[in-house]
Every structure is written in structure tokens, then in C-alpha cells.
Chain A
């Protein structure tokens, strides 16, 4: 039997609240430390304890990070999903199962079966915490079967239980029990194996939310106002956790405030208050929170208040699938609130970009005096991704057109809060407490001096200026990432966390003889390079993780007429992180439909 090295998917079925997450992260980290390109996806329920959870570990020397088409090795610990998980396996798959599970067995002849009495082994260590230890036993079994390096395992355990000596010792003992059982009782009869790989660039694992949290600190966030919601809470909690280290003086006083608001409306209000007062305020939320914040988003746009909103998108509409991923808030962010609006949306596709847009968001918000959104998603935000390090901001903070000194103020021939002095649509502002140009900010119509006005020309001019202001932003925002083929036949336009599946999609298409170019959009409004990309290609397909093709809709509306017919949509979402084959097949089908 030929070995299959570093190219397979492990699916671990457990119940949440049983400590399986620690065990799975130890597995992931130890593979990573061996230099094996690996990714982990946590498919968890909206629940604290007892509901089914799957953890998908994909090893891929090609660097593919999507969940993959099928499971090669199934770990069965959860009786609740036992039959379904078993039935879903293709012939030849491997099952490692807890043989102590009551009334459950593995009776398929066409698969490789490794029964392990995980509960009894766990009870040997400590009957009181047998349930927690059960999970680490299967990691030991996998380590022995696949050939995972013991030193890497032990350092992963130490990392997971940092500073907790008892837990480290207990877990290493449990790993040993798993390994020993495997050695003594099981005969390897599957082809899967792990081999270490040389690491050229040292990397570490980090979640997108933690990266965005760190980036926010390097953007000098001064107020975090938030309301807990999955999958964004770890972004806010990440900010909080770094305050003692990064933002606190020797006396223990911080230069960033954190307020857990009573709801998302209040969180948004606080962010606006901070921006109005001259500070850098932000919130982190998900789609339902953005829905609640709509009114304030309109106020921030109309009264021109710098403000930063992170949306870690989950599956909608409504409460939707709170612990699953999607790219379905694009329209809501871009055109948030009633009336004519248009907002800047930054769309990271990597953890490095989560960090970068974490600080840049404040610069854009203050430069353009407008709400700025960071659009991440559950997949990018809550899963761990390889990162080779974060880059320090390459420019000082841009605080925008704020008049802070009286003599500067006096030099203005004519000052008005909403007067377009420079012709770029961006007016100057003074801050409360300065005594300069004191005005009553308002969400009502106003003239260039900020005074209430219902005059047709005042309203018309104001709305035109706001459009100019945001329109001028497009080429100052992050440009798309382009990977082009010489042929320029088919271009794929995509965004955000699809970055982690696109190379596999590209390769699958190439296997069928189709060479595609890639254009990853990183901000809205669209950079002019997106239009150039479409112009260069015969056909472009907008690929996104939602039902309606939201990005496609925006693009279609904004493109010149002659380009509209060149663009097509492939939008698909079932709550799962994007599996490459599904999207590749849909792209093929769309192209086929067009040629008919």
C-alpha cells in the first residue's frame, strides 16, 4: 500500500463543552510545528455544552486551507452524531472510535476500523475528569498512527496549558496512554502518514479576531464600546486582554477606555460620541448588531463623524446560523442606514490584513470623517491561520483635517464645519472643548456652517459633496490583489476569507484546462483597478459566500454599461467554510451556460 503523506483530512466529532477544543488545538499545533501545512476549522454549535461539534484538520503540502472534499480519517467520540458521521464516509476511510460508547459500534466492512476504549483509558488517570481526558487520548492514538513527533506534541501541550504544570503533565500522560494502546493493540492498516517539512519562513498560528484586536491597538484605539455577540466577542476581548501590556502606564492607568454597552445601539452611539469628541472609537459586532446600529451609521455618515465598526460576519438572515460563516453583510455595510449613503468597507482576507486594517481603519475614518467598516467573517475571525508576523504601521497616524490651534483657525478666510475648502469633499472640523467654531452637530439637513437648513440647494450640495468625498476615497483604499494569467480569458473576482480556498479552486479549474486570473477585492468602494481587471478579461466571475451575489450586485450597478455584460455571479452558501470543489464546479457550470 502506497503511503499518503501530508494530504488528507481528519474529522473529529465530539460534543462541545467536553474540552475537545483543547485536544484539537494541540493536534493542530503539533502538526504545524512539524512544518506540515495544516488548517483547522471548528464547526461548533450555538450552545455551551452538549451539542455536536466537528473539528476538521486538513493536511496539505500544497497549502490548501479549505475543508476539503471528504473525510479521510474520522474520529468518533460523540454518540449523538455517530450513525450520520459513519454513514457519510467513503469506502476506504479510517475510523478511530471510542469503543466504550454505549450501544455504539462500527460495523462497516469497507472501512479501516480502530476501536479504542478511550473512556476506560481516561478513567485510569482520573475518573473525575475522564470526559475531558478522553479527547486527549484520541490525539495520542492519532499521533502514533500517523507518526506525529513527540517533542512537537509536548510543546503544543505546553503552549495550550501555558503555566499550568498539572494540566500539562496530565495531558502528556494521557497522550502516552493513547500511544501505548495503539502500539499494543492496533495494527496499522491505512495509508495515511505525516512527515515533517522544512520550514523556510517561520510562522505562527493566530485567529483573525486577535490580529484585528492587536491592529486596533496599533491604531491607537481610545474607546472600545461593544456588546457581546458571536463571532466577534473574541475581537473585543482580544483588545481588552492586551490593554495591560500595550496601553497601560506604570501607575496602572490606561489610555483606552472599554465600555460594555447595554446593546448594539448604545455601543454605536458611544463610538459616535468618541469620534465627535475627537477620539478613536470602535465597536466589534456581527450582522445582527450592524442591523441594530443602522440609525447611528446614517448619523455618522451625514454628520461626518469618524467611527470604526468591525463586522465579523456570521450566517443570516435574522439569528441565522450564529456559529457558521458567510459573506452576507456586504450590501448592508456598503449602503447602511436609510437614505442615500455609501460607506468605506475594508475587507481583510488574511490575518496580516486583519492586523493592518485594524489600525488603518482609524486613519481612513478620520481622514474621510465617516464611518469605516472592517468586514471579517467567522472563518477568518475565529479559526487559526498561519502568520509570519505583523508589520508595524508604515506611517504616522492620520488624524485628518482637525483644526487644533486658534491661529490656524484664524487663518481661514471662511470657516464652516461642512464647507468644502479644498475641493476634495472633506471639510475641516474643530473639537468640542476647543472653543473654535462651536456648532450643534445634527442629523438634520444643514448648510455648510452646520446650521439647520431645508433649502433645496443646501441639501442637494451636501449630498453631492458626500458622494464626491467617498468616491475620492476609492483609489486611496487598499488596491485589489491581482494574480493574472497571460491569456486573460476568465477572471475571478472574490473577497475576504475566500482567499483561503481560491488557490485550490484555481487548481481544480486548471485541471480541466481552464486558466483563471484572480482579483481579490480588499475594499469598497471598488478600486479603479477592479474595473481595469474586468476590462482586460473576456469574462469575469464574482465569487462570494452568500446566496444573492451581493458584491456582484454592487459591481453591476457601478460598472460602465459596456462592462456589465462581461461580469457574472457565482454565489453559494450552505453555512460551511467554502469547499473548493463546490465553487469550482459552479464556475464551470456558469461558463458553460454562457457559451450555450
Chain B
């Protein structure tokens, strides 16, 4: 009894305090959007009651890819090479499909050097959460434009960007990605709900998070600054996440329309309509919303597209139920009789 902490500590469904989900101190610039996303990851994993050691933190190279050191200190992770996190994750997944793969990446990783790997991970419906911490610039190399920089946007130094950006959400929808969302690192509530829902999704969940770079791209002329995004965000809906293990959690039932989407583990994401109802099962509507926002120099956020019907990579691989890492050595190596039989057949 004497071990009991003096103050009341909030515990999650696993009786774990939030501290079980935190990481080391961040070395990013103070105010960086990425740190806010790290906090959302900590909250979402804790509130979702996922055992920390069942999560695998995956990343590539860049400011965003350093962040796995700053959250989920009890989870294994792999800070891989630039743009190649999806392939490493895919290989790990083939060996241990029981882990929740949480990938964090940047716009350099995802829209440039690693765009091919992103595309093919989506194509395989690889079972993972893929967060893009998208700020439109390369931070670690001191502020060059990335391939997601908006036309007409101007970073702190140098001319405005005139090259057409790659919209990762539009790309993902066109590829048949089964969970596509956009959010903003400043919209903590929306991002938390979307991330929790992504964690409950079986298949590839892309969350493109606009995450301002306070050092190189947070000036007034930038279309990815805190100020600009706050003023020019079109929110498709408010989002609430209702976990499967506690369906009685209090959710404010909105007066207008709302739409419940059931996720693979039985959890629900409730999308509360703000204006025109967005139907996340309609890819054309999602693409239209993205194009209209781009034309109006706006950012549309929310769960853009969702499809629960496609088989994920695990089903395509045709593997035994047990994770391969748990299969015994004796089962992995065919027996002596099988080789004797092969030798005999070859000699026949």
C-alpha cells in the first residue's frame, strides 16, 4: 500500500499511466509542429490502450523521422534510410504481423525520394499507420522547398515556389488507399480522433498532417504557416473516436447529421457534419474536395476517404495464422525425409 503514488494518476484500460507512452526529450526547434504530433501519438496510443511493446515505430530520414525517439520509449523502432521506411516496415510486417506499425515520415521522404515506396505500400494495402509530417520544406538541410510546397507559397528565404505540388492525399485516393485523412498539427482533437481511428484500421492508413516548420516556413507568405493554415482550413467534419472496449464513452451527439464508421477492431469514428455532408466512401467527392481547396488556396482536413472492404497485405501473403517470428525452427526447416525424397526423385 505504501507503494501507491501520493497523487492520483490517470490510467488507461491497461492500467498504464501516460508516462508509459512518452519518449525522450525532443531536439527539434521549439514550437515545431512535429512535437505536437508526437504528443498526439502518445495520447492516442495511451487512450487506445495499446501495449507499448506491441507498437513498432518506423521512420525514414529528416526532422520528422527523428521524432520516434521522442515518443513511445517502450516500443522498438527503426529509423531507417531516406524514403525507404515503407519497405523496411513491409519486411518486418511479413515476419511479425502482430505488431502495430506506426510510420512517421516527412514530405521529403514521402513525396520525393521515397514516393515509389509509399505508392507500393499503398498498393499492397500494407497494414500500417503512415503519418506524413508535412511542412513543405526540407528542415535538416536548412529550408529547401519540398515537392509538397504549394504554388505561390513563399518560405522565409528565397523566391516563391512555382512548381506544382504533389498532393499525397489525392495520390493515395487514386491508388485505392483504404484510409486517407488530412489534418493539421494545430488541430489536436481532430488529429487525435483520426489517428486513433487509423490505429483501428486494418490496411494502409495515410494521415497527411500539415505541420508548420517554425524555422524556415512559418512566415506570413507561406501557405503552410500556423497563421495561414488556421485561417484557411476547411474542416470536413468534426471527428470523435469511440473505442471498441468502452462504447459508453461520452460523446456529444451533434444536432445535425453525423455518420458513424465502424473500424476493423469494432471501434467507431463518428464524423459530425459541419456543412455539406462529406461521404468518405466516395472517392470522387474526396478528390473534388481536395481540388476545390487547392484552387481556393485552402487546406481541407478530415477523413477524406475510407474503404473497409479491401484485403490487407496479410491476407494476400497466404501465411500461417501464427506470426512467422513465433514459428519454431523445427517447423521452419523441412525435415530430413523431405530432402531424401527430393534426392530420390532427382536421381530417378
Taking a contact as CB atoms closer than 8 A, the residue among A206, A252, A267, A431 that contacts B325 in the complex is: A431
How far in angstroms is the closest Cβ of chain B from A180? 30
Contact B76 A438 (CB under 8 A): yes
Asked if A474 is an interface residue, CB under 8 A from chain B, the answer is no
How far in angstroms is the closest Cβ of chain B from A480? 27
Contact A272 B88 (CB under 8 A): yes
Given that A269-B90, A274-B95 are known contacts, is A255 also in contact with B319, CB under 8 Å in the complex? yes
Q: Main secondary structure on chain B at its contact with chain A?
A: helix
Given that A246-B338, A262-B116, A276-B78 are known contacts, is A438 also in contact with B53, CB under 8 Å in the complex? yes
Asked if A397 is an interface residue, CB under 8 A from chain B, the answer is yes
Asked if A440 is an interface residue, CB under 8 A from chain B, the answer is yes
Tally A-B pairs: CB < 8 A: 211
Asked if A278 is an interface residue, CB under 8 A from chain B, the answer is yes
Residue among A270, A396, A432 facing the most chain B CB atoms (10 A cut-off): A432
Asked if B84 is an interface residue, CB under 8 A from chain A, the answer is yes
Residues of B within 8 A of A393 (CB): 333
Which of A218-226, A418-426, A502-510, A570-578 touches B?
A218-226
Asked if B19 is an interface residue, CB under 8 A from chain A, the answer is no
Contact A438 B91 (CB under 8 A): no
Contact A438 B79 (CB under 8 A): no
Contact A392 B116 (CB under 8 A): no
Taking a contact as CB atoms closer than 8 A, the residue among A247, A253, A430 that contacts B321 in the complex is: A253
How far in angstroms is the closest Cβ of chain A from B28? 14
Instruction: Provide the bound-state CA to CA distance between A274 and B142, in Å.
Output: 34
Contact B94 A223 (CB under 8 A): yes
Given that A255-B324, A393-B333 are known contacts, is A263 also in contact with B95, CB under 8 Å in the complex? no
Given that A217-B334, A433-B98 are known contacts, is A254 also in contact with B68, CB under 8 Å in the complex? no
Instruction: Provide the bound-state CA to CA distance between A276 and B324, in Å.
Output: 13
Residues of A within 8 A of B327 (CB): 222, 255
Residues of B within 8 A of A389 (CB): 343, 346-347
Given that A223-B95, A269-B117, A392-B339 are known contacts, is A255 also in contact with B320, CB under 8 Å in the complex? yes
Instruction: Provide the bound-state CA to CA distance between A37 and B11, in Å.
Output: 76
How far in angstroms is the closest Cβ of chain A from B62? 12
Q: Which residues 267-302 in B have Cβ within 8 Å of A in the complex?
A: none
Residues of B within 8 A of A204 (CB): 346-347
Asked if B30 is an interface residue, CB under 8 A from chain A, the answer is no
Residues of A within 8 A of B76 (CB): 430-434, 438-441
Nearest-CB residue, chain B, relative to A262: B120
1/0 contact string of A244-287 vs chain B (CB within 8 Å): 01110100111111110111011111111111111111000000
1/0 contact string of A169-197 vs chain B (CB within 8 Å): 00000000000000000000000000000
Instruction: Provide the bound-state CA to CA distance between A217 and B334, in Å.
Output: 7
Residues of A within 8 A of B74 (CB): 435, 438
Taking a contact as CB atoms closer than 8 A, the residue among B52, B77, B339 that contacts A439 in the complex is: B77
Instruction: Provide the bound-state CA to CA distance between A41 and B165, in Å.
Output: 53
Instruction: Provide the bound-state CA to CA distance between A225 and B87, in Å.
Output: 10
Q: Which residues 334-348 in B have Cβ within 8 Å of A in the complex?
A: 334, 336, 338-340, 342-343, 346-347
Q: Which residues 48-104 in B have Cβ within 8 Å of A in the complex?
A: 51-54, 56-57, 68-69, 73-81, 84, 86-96, 98-99
Contact B91 A269 (CB under 8 A): yes
Contact A270 B329 (CB under 8 A): no
Asked if A443 is an interface residue, CB under 8 A from chain B, the answer is yes
Given that A202-B347, A276-B88, A432-B56 are known contacts, is A390 also in contact with B95, CB under 8 Å in the complex? no
Asked if B332 is an interface residue, CB under 8 A from chain A, the answer is yes
Nearest-CB residue, chain A, relative to B66: A452
Q: Which residues 195-250 in A have Cβ within 8 Å of B in the complex?
A: 202-204, 206, 214, 217-220, 222-223, 225, 245-247, 249
Asked if B158 is an interface residue, CB under 8 A from chain A, the answer is no
The 9 residue pairs across chains A and B that have the minimum distance between CB atoms? A273-B91, A269-B87, A220-B332, A279-B95, A270-B91, A435-B53, A432-B76, A273-B92, A277-B95
22 A–B contacts from the bound complex (CB under 8 Å) = A222-B332, A223-B91, A249-B320, A257-B95, A257-B319, A261-B87, A262-B117, A262-B119, A270-B88, A273-B89, A273-B90, A273-B92, A277-B91, A281-B95, A390-B343, A431-B76, A432-B96, A433-B96, A433-B99, A438-B53, A438-B76, A439-B76
Give the B-binding residues of A (Cβ under 8 A): 202-204, 206, 214, 217-220, 222-223, 225, 245-247, 249, 252-259, 261-263, 265-281, 295-296, 299, 303, 359, 387, 389-390, 392-393, 396-397, 399, 430-435, 438-444, 452
New A-B contacts (13) at CB < 8 Å, excluding given A262-B119, A263-B116: A214-B342, A218-B334, A222-B94, A253-B319, A257-B319, A268-B87, A270-B91, A273-B93, A397-B332, A431-B76, A433-B98, A439-B77, A440-B69
